[in-house]
Structure 1
């Protein structure tokens, strides 16, 4: 991989371009790393009733689907968000992880994982809310939590 810096006095803002013959896991990781480093993500707007809310992502416990809507849960409230889960999964890298086909969780908000023969439940501190981890995503979640220690 080559790394190059070009100075262009005509530019008004910094620009990073990744040139590659094909998109692979290494390019995806590099792209996500650059986005995370510079905080480049579109601001998320949350809705409740007729009001729009701009919440800090650290307040979000998890996102889940309910019918055709995607809900963002905080410790004592829930909001509608006009993104699909797969879009949120791409936007929210780092501290968020997919735990089922219908949920994405904030790893910083996990208080406890309760594993039984039939399911794994995630509990949150200072909140009665709980969410289930599917068997398919359990190992990836466990690995991410181990790496964060």
Structure 2
């Protein structure tokens, strides 16, 4: 692994670019480590309680009205961040799959493509499914290939 630091007086903030031939566990860990330095901590809410759930246990995030919910295999928790804010702080294992959803690509069990253009993701050991829009289908397929 090569590490290079370039000083640029024109920049207001730090910019980190990772160049790699393919996504590996090492690259994923590096991205997660860098993200944690700048990320608001994710707190999950259910009723009057706060939960501290591991990100790898989250299958997907989706909007329901004005609220954002994080779904695990057995539960759903409210999150106070917007989807676009989640996209910025989630590790590369999470991928936007529709205007209203972000999925954990490592948790995908199957991807069912339909003729109508909307596909469906199934997750292992749960009844939960989430839909993938035509617009994000190819991005999801590429991410699945990179991470598998």
TM-score by length of 1: 0.78
Question: Residues 114-136 of structure 1, C-alpha deviation per residue, up to 9 Å, x if partnerless?
Answer: 01101210000001000000000
Shift of 1:43: 1.8
Match of 1:79 in 2: 77
Q: Which residue is 2:22 aligned to?
A: none
After superposing on structure 2, the runs of 4+ consecutive aligned residues of structure 1 that deviate more than 6 Å are: none
Query: Structure 2: 5+ residue runs without aligned partners?
Result: 19-27
Contact in 1 for aligned 2:106/2:147 (Cα 8 Å): no
Q: Which has the higher contact order (CA 8 A, sep 6+)?
A: 2
Change (3 A) 1:121 1:20: farther
RMSD: 2.6
Q: How many residues align?
A: 132
| Structure 1 unmatched runs, 5+ | 5-16
Which whole-Å deviations, capped at 9, do the CAs of 1:88-141 have from their partners, x for residues lacking one?
Answer: 000003110000000000011100000110121000000100000000000010
Q: State TM-score, norm by structure 2.
A: 0.79
